[in-house]
Amino acid sequence: MTERKIEIMDSTLRDGEQTNGVSFLPHEKLSIARLLLRDVKVDRIEVASARVSEGEKDAVKMICRYANQLGCLDSVEVLGFVDGGKSIDWICECGGRIINLLTKGSKNHCVHQLNKTPDEHIADIVENVRMAKDKGLSVNIYLEDWSNGMIDSPEYVYHMIESLQDIGICRFMLPDTLGILTPKQTAVFFKDMVSRFPNTHFDFHSHNDYDLAVGNTLSAVTSGARGVHVTVNGLGERCGNAPLASVQAVLHDQCGIETSVEESMLNEVSKVVEGYSGVVVAPNQPIVGENVFTQVAGVHADGDNKHNLYCNALVPERFGRKREYALGKNSGKANIEKNLKELGLELTPEQTRKVTRRITELGDRKALVTQEDLPFIVADVLKHSAPEDRVRLKGYMVSLSYGLKPHACVKIDIDGKRYEADSSGDGQYDAFVKALRNIYKEVLGRTFPMLENYAVSIPPGGRTDALVQTQITWRMKDGRVLRTRALDADQTEAAIKATIKMLNQIEPEYHKGNLDV
């Protein structure tokens, strides 16, 4: 196991912002920079490309001021270009101290994009480095398209570094710009670079076009790279860059390599960047995905109960998360017992069996039952108030037709006596409630509570198969407030269940002679 520290440079605010459709506002950039520097504690952040816009300049100024106050301005880097000093001036105006100078790392790029010979390009670079140093900037150099350079023109790459290694470059940053490398190639090329230039600091910058960014980053580190580039959630051009959380976990667990990263903050920064970028994290993305610490199969929960048989080094608490046990048709008794214990609910074996059966039934109708659903499922199944269920819904029909008002027919039993009514309304549930009101007000002469608030919630993601929880707030005539909840795969059904629960709660009031509830 290697025992050395690797620099982590996060490029979410520069390369990550090159994700299609992503553009951070200045205050969003500052918020992300604060999290990365102060809380996640990455070594360096690359925050912008020079000369992009005035808004970008404002953002870089804000970040540089903050970093200076925090005492880590030397951790803030800006991508600049070989443009006769224009990028250098832009960065200086922002208060920056470090330029990441973009140069050509393959002969193909140098000749066909710049229309220059290698020596002409090197001369331009040397002049820009001199100007940067005269302005007090430190210089890192990107060798763009380095991976293709090593495949097609390695002598060009060697000549570039030999020509520039003695002019005060802090870091040579070697990108797999088009994401073409395999881990084996990365290892071969990095060993070559390190053996030829043993006193040079090399960073590796990976792209994920073949889904090999993390593997290539690991190979680069084990082959001598001193720094690696990442982005939060793997944002970046095309298929993105190596994700910060994944790289951190792999380096720590697979290589025993030390970094400065505070792992417990990785989930928080992931959520912030997800919100600002609008790019949703895949549920199965390692470390930060919604599902990655969720056991679904009941046998896994059983194994965890007995000896943590299905756990590995990726303990969720490391990353500010916790292990969860999914509820559904595959969960089994062990998963349900784990969830009940976490909620502080104690059931007998027979009660647990009934709840398990109900969850399995719900699981056949939808993909997921959440832990938040569990207390309501328990209440529904165990029927703690069954002896007092004096109001029972015996049947209903709601209709919705184009051009016509929704209509409902309702049949209920109150203390064993049957009542029926129908009504139209502005919606299916509204029609159902109005039919109930007809029974209570017209037939029974009772006051019917006023519906004050109606709230529906489903799990994140907006899935159409979500288990719907409906909470309805009712106001009694005397000012009291009553809230009832119910859940079902159908929103109208959930609301109707919540309404029947309310009627059962107030029914005893009528029998006490209080007709003005």
Catalytically active residues are: 14, 144
| Strand order across the beta sheet in which 450-457 lies | 450-457, 468-475, 481-488
Cβ contacts of 176 within 8 Å, gap of 6 or more:
146, 147, 186, 204, 205, 206, 207, 216
Instruction: Give the whole-angstrom CA distance, residue 173 versus residue 164.
Output: 13
How are the residues of the chain apportioned to helix, strand and coil, as percentages rounded to the nearest 5? Answer: 45, 20, 35
Note whether 435 and 409 are within 8 A (CB).
Answer: yes
Q: How deeply is 350 buried, as exposed, middle or buried, from its count of CB atoms within 10 A (0-12, 13-18, 19+)?
A: exposed
Please name the residues in contact with 20: beta carbons below 8 A apart, sequence gap of 6 or more. Answer: 237
Burial class (CB in 10 A: 0-12, 13-18, 19+), 346: exposed
Q: Angle 244-255/213-222 helices, nearest 10 degrees?
A: 40
What does the alpha-carbon distance between residue 147 and residue 199 come to, in Å, rounded to a whole number?
A: 21
| Separation CA 318–CA 370 (nearest Å) | 23
H-run or E-run covering 468: strand 468-475
* Beta strand pairing call for 468-475 and 481-488: antiparallel
Residues 85, 91, 93, 96, CA torsion sign:
negative
Give the start-end residues of each E strand in 235-377: 294-295, 324-325
Is the CB of residue 205 less than 8 Å from the CB of residue 229? yes
Task: Please state, in angstroms and rounded to a whole number, the distance separating the CA atoms of residues 56 and 29.
Answer: 9
Amino acid identity for residue 203 in this structure: D
Q: Are 338 and 301 in contact (CB under 8 A)?
A: yes
Reported residue count of the chain is 517
112 near 144, Cβ under 8 Å? no
**Separation between Cα atoms, residue 282 and residue 303, nearest integer Å:** 27
